[in-house]
Amino acid sequence: MISFGEVLGWVLSWRRQRKIDERESTDTLAQELDKLADLMSEVLNVTTPDGHIDREGLPQLDHLRKRVWNRWVSILDTHGYASRDKELQTEIEKCIRIVHAAPGAYVEEIYLAQVGIERGYLPPEVRQRFAASIDSLRDLVASMRLNR
């Protein structure tokens, strides 16, 4: 027969593991938000004041964009993001725009980086949007790491 102490131990162990899993999930999401901010920062770093993108670093930049794109498509397609705290989702969506389209969702800022890389030009409004997103993402990531 199972004792009350054993059941209580299992319940407490399960709750502790769930909390650890939630913390690890938040850490992973914070890392991916940070990588997204890094992508936008790199795009801005290779963009001249008149909006032209320096062609020299494009292969590495496009490789980074593809990795970030694939990771975010994966994140948005999982139940994990959809079941996240709605307040955190709202905070994320204040920083970036998540577009829901067939066959799935994507981050619009990554798409804008792709278009800029392909055209070799980033319009002023996109550069301003990236700058604002970078700042707000960095703040959100810091907040997520402090509130674990």
pLDDT in tens, 14-63: 666 666 556 777 888 999 999 999 999 999 999 999 999 998 888 899 99
Of residues 60 and 82, the one with the higher pLDDT is 60
pLDDT at 142: 95
Spatial separation of the C-alpha atoms in residues 29 and 24, rounded to whole Å: 9
The whole-number average pLDDT for the span 58-73 is: 93
The whole-number average pLDDT for the span 121-139 is: 96
CATH of range 4-146; options 2.60.40, 1.10.3470, 1.20.120, 3.40.50: 1.20.120
Closest CA to 61 of 45, 76, 84: 45
The residue whose two tokens read 């301003």 is: 128
pLDDT at 77: 83
pTM (2 decimals)? 0.83
pLDDT at 2: 75
Closest CA to 115 of 71, 65, 68: 65
Helix (H) or strand (E) holding 81: helix 79-82
End-to-end CA distance of the chain: 38
The whole-number average pLDDT for the span 77-84 is: 75
Q: Chain-wide mean pLDDT for the chain?
A: 87
DSSP category for residue 53: B
pLDDT at 148: 67
Spatial separation of the C-alpha atoms in residues 116 and 51, rounded to whole Å: 9
8 Å CB contact between 69 and 143: no
Spatial separation of the C-alpha atoms in residues 109 and 132, rounded to whole Å: 11
8 Å CB contact between 122 and 40: no
